[in-house]
Amino acid sequence: MDLYQQAAELILKSKHTTVFTGAGISVESGIPPFRGETGLWSQYDPIILDLDYYYRHPNESWPAIKKLFYDFFGSAKPNLAHQIIAQWEKKELVHTIITQNIDHLHQNAGSEKVLEFHGSSQSFICAQCYKVYKVASINLDDNPPLCQNCTSLLKPNFIFFGEGINPSIYKESIYNTEIAELYIIIGTTGEVMPASQIPLLAKQRGAQIIEINIEASHFTAEITDIYLEDKASIVLSILDKKINALLTK
């Protein structure tokens, strides 16, 4: 039996499948990864996303953040991989999505059960009064954007360097990892802590691990049961056809 057939059968048999996505799934939407030779950190100084630096030098950080995450990323659309995962969720083949991405593309594709481990670019939070704003209500041309309530600095509501993970998101991510019978890792190298530790917990709790990546990751040799090497949209399209064939038998 080929690996795709095995993976399709695992997806159909699983009573709780958790999908864990990283930057690789959004590359096909035109969003480059942060790391690697062509990654964003080869072009921008990561200090722009250092929490302390942002609060001390917002006039320097904000223009680069706006250009990256709002001017450029803001035009990105969900790709076929996002769409297939959303379809699987509707068919109850996927029960939870844990994403390290802040691009909101899973939700834009129609997924509802999404845990944004690193937060989201779609809202801002006030550093002083903690009022939360949707991105559509903010004038992004302000340098930097300020709270309409107390005039303090607004911060994009995603995790900066030096900032902790939202405790409730962390707890829910752990829960949906521990109860998973099947864990599908897509488009992540497994380099970013503490997110990289979560799939290990799935394996420890007995989950089967399917990994979809264009090249081997830190997970491949350590915890992966089925490794499908290609772009996410290609792999998921093949799996979707295999699943549909099994369902119509």
Longest Cα–Cα distance of the chain, Å, equals 62
pLDDT at 125: 96
pLDDT, tens only, 121-159:
999 999 899 999 999 999 998 889 999 999 999 999 999
Secondary structure element (H or E) that encloses residue 105, with its range = helix 105-109
Which sequence spans correspond to the domains of the chain?
1-30+79-118+165-249, 32-75+121-158
What one-character-per-residue DSSP string does 166-188 give? PHHHHHHHHHHHHT-SEEEEES-
151 phi, psi to nearest 5 deg: 65, 15
Catalytic residues: 118
Q: Is 164 helix (H, G, I), strand (E, B) or coil?
A: coil
Burial string for 23-54 (b: 16+ CB within 10 Å, else e) reads bbbbbbbebbbbeeeeebeeeeeeebbbbebb
Mean pLDDT of the chain: 92
- Per CATH, the number for 32-75+121-158 is 3.30.1600.10
Name residues whose C-beta falls within 8 Å of residue 230's C-beta, 6 or more positions apart in sequence.
212, 214
Q: Are 154 and 133 in contact (CB under 8 A)?
A: yes
One-character DSSP codes across 16-64: SEEEEE-THHHHTTT---SSSTTSGGGTS-GGGGBHHHHHH-HHHHHHH
Torsion sign, CA atoms 114, 183, 210, 36: positive
Residue that has been written with the tokens 């029960």 in this structure: 95
Query: In whole angstroms, what is the distance from residue 4 CA to residue 69 CA?
Result: 35
Say which CATH superfamily domain 1-30+79-118+165-249 falls into. Answer: TPP-binding domain (3.40.50.1220)
pLDDT in tens, 191-227: 888 999 999 999 999 999 999 999 999 999 999 999 9
Residue 1 has pLDDT above 60, yes or no: no
Question: What pLDDT does 49 receive?
Answer: 87
Encode pLDDT of 11-41 as tens digits.
999 999 999 999 999 999 988 766 555 556 5
